[in-house]
Amino acid sequence: MTGGAGGLGREVACGLAEFGAGVIIADQDRTGLAEVKNRLDDMGCEVLALELDVTDRDSVERAAGTVVQEYGKLDILVNAAGINLRKPVMDLSEDEWDRIIDINLKGTYLCCKIMGARMVRQNRGKIINFGSVSSVLGHPEHSAYAASKGGVLLFTKVLAMEWARNNINVNAIGPAYIETALTRDYLSSEGNYEKIARSIPMGRLGSPSDVVGAVIYLSSSASDFVTGSILMVDGGRTAD
Ligand SMILES: NC(=O)c1ccc[n+]([C@@H]2O[C@H](COP(=O)([O-])OP(=O)(O)OC[C@H]3O[C@@H](n4cnc5c(N)ncnc54)[C@H](O)[C@@H]3O)[C@@H](O)[C@H]2O)c1
């Protein structure tokens, strides 16, 4: 899983491990990777930690090569690497726009294409891409993020169509706000936490465990007839 050192990625990695999966955590954050690897080692999980830049094709190809060399197969790919910058579009530089699109959208494309090639050869696989409520809602100050996450959703649908006959399920999940490094600065500013909680019909933010359950479902045979979907994990935020 990419973004395996991140706030959601690490919980998903541990959740998959609890269900008996061997887990490959891939991230550009070396320190975070070591922390998560220790946690998974303590759980007795078979774990491989790989440094990876999802925007760099060579890096993704090297990671795919290592996975195949070590395991000879790849059952599940979770694309959770992502960044955001909250700024009005007039203040967002072209470089910032490119960086967000590169990591969130192009990174998902590269990982799906390169890791998915292995799944096509196996004629089997599960891919779960991290979208967001921003895949379907136009929040102010999220221009590049929403463009990238909307792109992730439609890219997911296209791959689901292209690989349906290859026995590969390609789905996305769409979390609402969950407190991680991605959202912490914003949520810690006066009143923002409460404002977000009020905007969610269930009256609270999500927790990483809410996302874990969704990923486990989409990784398991329980979702074998589900493809091209986005499973919103948002307390009803996008229900109306
Ligand atoms: N936290 C939320 O509220 C929320 C809501 C909706 C969607 N999401 C999505 O969930 C995913 C995980 O987010 P999170 O909350 O865990 O954020 P996070 O910042 O805690 O984790 C993101 C991880 O991605 C890694 N990463 C960034 N650029 C990378 C690159 N080029 N190559 C490899 N790894 C890279 C970071 O090192 C980090 O470990 C993201 O795609 C995010 O957009 C999060």
Q: Which residue has the tokens 């050192």?
A: 5
**87-123 tens-digit pLDDT:** 999 999 999 999 999 999 999 999 999 999 999 999 9
| pLDDT more than 90, % of the chain | 100
Which pair of tokens denotes residue 30?
């070396």
One of 3.40.50.720, 1.10.260.40, 1.10.760.10, 3.40.50.800 is the CATH number of 7-233, namely 3.40.50.720
**Catalytically annotated residues:** 145
52 Cβ partners below 8 Å, 6+ apart? 2, 26, 27, 28, 59, 60, 63, 81
**127-182 tens-digit pLDDT:** 999 999 999 999 999 999 999 999 999 999 999 999 999 999 999 999 999 999 99
Q: What is the DSSP letter of 164?
A: G
The confidence score (pLDDT) of residue 237 equals 98
Average pLDDT, the chain: 97
7 CB under 6 A from ligand 1?
yes
Nearest-angstrom CA–CA distance, 210 and 198: 18
Distance in Å, CA 138 to ligand 1 centroid: 19
Q: Is 170 helix (H, G, I), strand (E, B) or coil?
A: strand
Nearest-angstrom CA–CA distance, 193 and 227: 33
Distance in Å, CA 75 to ligand 1 centroid: 22
Nearest-angstrom CA–CA distance, 29 and 209: 22
